[in-house]
Structure 1
Amino acid sequence: MALSKNLDLVKISPNSNPPVCKIMDFGKYKYELAKKEKESKKKQKVVSVKEIRLRPMIDKHDLETKANMAKKFLEAGDKLKVTIRFRGRELGHKEMGNQVIEKFVELIKDNAAPIGTKPHLEGNSMILIVDPPKKSN
């Protein structure tokens, strides 16, 4: 029957009982599947993580400039990794790093989701992950 109409017998769902088959053009079927897959990939948003590096002795204006850059990243929907690197004796003054992160969070809090985690120390760096704000529909 399929040969007389120049079509193919295509098994749609082989796992069901009984298996579902259709008489159709197999090339067209493959094209439609590829098109659907491509369309679903377009709709997926890849979340990237942007990093802002700070120092414990950063000046006020430099901190504001970094905060403006962070706001742009968060508005674009990217996650943000805030890193404060300590060198030498600075590692003994972790409270300075906490103060810098608190000031930084205060500057970007309007553009970020509520921050639930505290900064943590990894080696000679203090790290805080900031999520973009949730979009309300």
Structure 2
Amino acid sequence: MLRVIDDDGSLGNMSTTDAIKLAMERGLDLIEISPNATPPVAKITDYGRFQYTTQKKDRDARAKAHVTETKNVQVKIGTSERDLELKAKKASEWLRESHRVKLDLFLPGRTKYMEPKFLEERLSRILNLISEDYKVAEEPKKSPKGLTIVIERGAKRKEVSEGKVKKAEVTAPEVETK
């Protein structure tokens, strides 16, 4: 038994042989649309036209699909203001193209143990230079290489005042002294 449909609507349930005979009478093809349904669904239509419409839907879906990448911007504590402006400009371009931007404050060696408030101020310096509207996708967090925040295109600009990046668990590990 099959549930048979055509371009006008449902024709009801009928046996496979009856559905094939009906399709042949109309000069069309019987195409199985949904084999896993109970009962399976078959459509009486022209196979060439069916193939064309499914390919067209696939092409349209691929054209509308936009792949978003996560782009990286890496800055150090001592990065000059001009270099920060250039990196912020590039980050703004990526946000305009609807990419996510991952900002890494790279902390080599002993700089990992600096005051967390100071590190947040350095991160907020570049965030304030970004001209495009953005929202914070992932809050600032400690990573093996330093401090990381992920931003993406947003409806309205999130103002970040000096050192007021949302608090995350950004604490320097305690060092034992003898």
TM-score tier after normalising by the smaller chain length: 0.7 to 0.9
- Counterpart of 2:124, as a letter, is E
Q: Residue 111 of structure 1 aligns to a residue in which SS?
A: coil
Match among 124, 133, 145 for residue 124 of structure 1: 145
8 Å contact kept, 1:63–1:104? yes
Alpha-carbon shift at residue 39 of structure 1 (Å):
0.8
8 Å contact kept, 2:95–2:134? no
Q: Which ranges of structure 2 fall in alignment gaps of 5 or more residues?
A: 1-20, 157-178
Greater RCO (Cα-Cα under 8 Å, separation 6 or more) = 1
Identify the range of structure 1 (8-17 vs 41-50) with the bigger mean alpha-carbon deviation.
8-17
**Which structure shows the higher helix fraction?**
1
Instruction: Tell whether 2:121 aligns with 1:106.
Output: no
Give CA deviations for 1:66-123 in whole Å, capped at 9, x if unaligned: 1111111111111100011111121122544322211111111x41323375411111
Q: Which has the greater radius of gyration?
A: 2
Shift of the 118–5 alpha-carbon distance from structure 1 to 2, 3 Å rule, reads: closer
- Counterpart of 2:74, as a letter, is R
- Counterpart of 1:107, as a letter, is L
**Percent identity between the aligned chains?**
25
Cα RMSD (Å) of the superposition?
2.4
**Which structure shows the higher strand fraction?**
2
Match among 86, 93, 99 for residue 65 of structure 1: 86
Match among 27, 31, 46 for residue 67 of structure 2: 46
Question: Which residue number in structure 1 is paired with residue 44 of structure 2?
Answer: 23
Question: What is the distance in 2 between the residues matched to 1:98 and 1:12?
Answer: 57
Q: Which ranges of structure 1 fall in alignment gaps of 5 or more residues?
A: none
8 Å contact kept, 2:137–2:152? no
- Counterpart of 1:80, as a letter, is V
